[in-house]
Amino acid sequence: MRCVRCTGIKVPEVITEGGARALALRCLLCGDVTDHVIARNRQRSRHIRPSRARTPVYGSRKWDRLRSWEEVYPD
């Protein structure tokens, strides 16, 4: 298997953390570790989620406080 970061070779490795053991793949060149949780999350992030439009803020005085370019940088 090839690494997605550096295209190096990944080898299987047993990682022991907190008394639990998990099978993972580690890249020999860059050290990137991929286990089943990381792989599942990467697959989920590939799906395009529909975006929604931003809700406009009505009655905001934010734009009233802005000064013109001439007031900020006088000649």
DSSP 5-59: TT--BEEEEEEEETTEEEEEEEETTT--EE-HHHHHHHHHHHSPPPP-PPPP-TT
Task: Judge whether 5 lies within some domain.
Answer: yes
**Band of residue 17 on the pLDDT scale cut at 50, 70, 90:** confident
Task: Judge whether 8 lies within some domain.
Answer: yes
Instruction: Look up the pTM and report it.
Output: 0.55
Task: Judge whether 2 lies within some domain.
Answer: yes
Task: Judge whether 52 lies within some domain.
Answer: no
Task: Judge whether 25 lies within some domain.
Answer: yes
Q: Give tens-digit pLDDT for 29-65.
A: 999 999 999 888 888 866 666 666 666 666 556 555 5
Task: Judge whether 48 lies within some domain.
Answer: no
Task: Judge whether 11 lies within some domain.
Answer: yes
Three-state SS for 65?
coil
Domain count, the chain: 1
Task: Compute the C-alpha angle 41/26/3, nearest 5°.
Answer: 70
Higher pLDDT, 46 or 12: 12
Task: Judge whether 50 lies within some domain.
Answer: no
Going by C-beta distance under 8 Å and a sequence separation of 6 or more, which residues neighbour residue 21? 14, 15
Residue 68: per-residue pLDDT: 59
**pLDDT average, residue stretch 5-15:** 93
> What is the extent of the structural domain holding 15?
1-37
